[in-house]
Structure formats: structure tokens, C-alpha cells
Amino acid sequence: MSAPTPAIDWQLLTTRANEAMTKAYAPYSKFPVGVAALVSDGRIITGCNVENASYGLTLCAECGLISELFASGGGRLIAFACVDGAGAYLAPCGRCRQLLFEHGGNELLVMTTDGVVPMSDLLPWAFGPGHLAHE
């Protein structure tokens, strides 16, 4: 039997994403990003983008979030919010949608400028761990 899903406080997630955004290292793009997610055990984790002079080595906020997920005990992502430097909601890019899908699945709820949508709407026909199952 799985644990009950915690209630989602979108305002708190947005606040935590904004707090994380203020810690971003974005000297090149000047585009700080912060993210926050609710984990299945009730924790809220955060991440921010960390740029690099070798642009291809830049870490997006979602990468930091997934690292924090495992550094703080693992679990499944339940709800996710991403904001820019002005606090406006951002949709994750394709690469980040795949990262989030891996750890939240189709049911992960994502706050967008149009409201809350499931990951299945943002990444239809997603490729995931189930496709790699070996018998």
C-alpha cells in the first residue's frame, strides 16, 4: 500500500521556486531560473540554474532539482513549479521534461501559465524506464 499523496500548496511551491531563483548563477544569459517540487513523502526540494563559461556545461535548474531529490532521500515527484527572474511561470524545455518524467511519470503535475497540467500533456508518448524493462 502506498502512502497518501500530500496536499499540494502551489503558493508554497512558487515561493520556494522564487527563493531558489535568487540563488541562480546566470552571469552570461542574465536569465535566472528557480524550481521547486513536492516529493511523494511531503518534502519540498528546489534547484536553480548554474551557468558555465563553456555554455554546453551549464546546469539547468531541473538538473539541480533531480540531484537534490536523490541527495535528500529519493522518492517520486508529485508537483512542480518553475519561475524566471520576474517570478513568471516557465514551462520546462524538452530535455528537462524528460528529466522530470523519469522521476514523476505521466502523473507529475506541472504549474504553467495556463494552470496545472499533468506531465502527460507536456510530454506525450514519453520514453521512460518501462521501455527498458528486460524479461
| Within-domain flag for 4 | no
| Within-domain flag for 134 | no
With cell 540563488, the residue in question is 23
- In the residue annotation, 62 being an active-site residue is answered as yes
Helix (H) or strand (E) holding 112: strand 109-112
Q: Judge whether 83 and 89 are in contact, CB under 8 Å.
A: yes
- Main-chain phi, psi angles of 63, to 5 degrees: -60, -45
Report the pLDDT value the prediction gives residue 133, as an integer from 0 to 100: 73
| Within-domain flag for 114 | yes
Catalytic residue among 51, 62, 68, 107: 62
**How far is it, in rounded angstroms, from Cα 63 to Cα 70?**
11
In this prediction the pTM is 0.92
| Within-domain flag for 58 | yes
Q: How many domains does the chain have?
A: 1
Q: Which domain holds residue 25?
A: 10-122
| Within-domain flag for 132 | no
CATH of the domain at 69: 3.40.140.10
| Within-domain flag for 91 | yes
- 115 Ramachandran zone, left/alpha/beta (phi>0; psi -120 to 50): left
- Full pLDDT tens readout for the chain, 135 residues: 455 667 899 999 999 999 999 999 999 999 999 999 999 999 999 999 999 999 999 999 999 999 999 999 999 999 999 999 999 999 999 999 999 999 999 999 999 999 999 999 999 999 988 888 765
